[in-house]
Amino acid sequence: MFLFFAGLFLIIAILYILVPPFFGPPSVPTRHERIRKALQLADLQPDEVLYDLGAGDGRVLVIAAKEFGAQAVGVEIGPVQCAVSWGKALWNKISSKVRVEARNFYHADLSNADVVFAYLTSDQAGRLQEKLKRELKSGARVVTVAFNFPDWEHTSLDRENLIFLYKK
C-alpha cells in the first residue's frame, strides 16, 4: 500500500513540475500582497469576471473571489495545478464563484472577461497582446505583473511592485 501511495505522489509531483514548462515557463507564484495591489489597481468590483491566465495554485482566484467578490476563472494547463486551484476554492468555501479551465490560455475564450490577470514573461507578451486585442470587450482591463505589452500604453503603473494596468 505504501508503494502505491509513494508512486502516486511521484506521478503527481512529476506532472506538477513537468507539464506547464512544455507550454511556457514554469509556474512561479507571486506574493499575496502583490496580487491584492494588482486587483486594486484594476479596480476589480464584486460580480465582475476575472480571468487568471496561468492560474497556478489558484491564489489569484481565491483573493479575487473571497476578498473582491468577483467571479474568478482560472485558465491553467497543468492538471495538478488545476486540482490544487479547485481544492483551494473548496477549502475557502468560494467554489460557487470560481471556475478552473484545464487548457492553454491561448485557446481560452476571454470575451466574457472584465479583468484579465497575467503574471507571465515578456516573451509571451506579443502573442497574448494580439489575443486580448481581438477578444476583449470594450472597457475590459488587463493587469500584468512583472511584464508589459510593448505596443500598448499602460493607463496606470505601480512602479514599486511592477504592475501595469491597461484598458481596452
pLDDT tens digits, residue range 37-60? 999 999 999 999 999 999 999 999
151 pLDDT higher than 70 = yes
Domain range spanning residue 93? 2-167
155 pLDDT higher than 70 = yes
pLDDT at position 11: 64
> What CATH number is given to the structural domain containing 20?
3.40.50.150
Distances (CA, A) of 69 to 43, 64, 83, 111, 163: 12, 6, 22, 20, 21
pLDDT at position 80: 86
Tens of pLDDT, residues 73-116: 999 998 888 999 999 999 999 999 999 999 999 999 999 999 99
Number of structural domains found in the chain: 1
Could you tell me if 39 and 117 are in contact, meaning their C-beta atoms sit under 8 angstroms apart? yes
What is the edge-to-edge ordering of all strands in the sheet holding 115-118? 98-102, 71-76, 49-53, 115-118, 141-145, 163-167, 156-158
The mean of the pLDDT values for the chain is 89
Mean pLDDT of 121-138: 90
Residues of the chain above pLDDT 70, percent? 84
Confidence of residue 29 (pLDDT cuts 50, 70, 90): confident
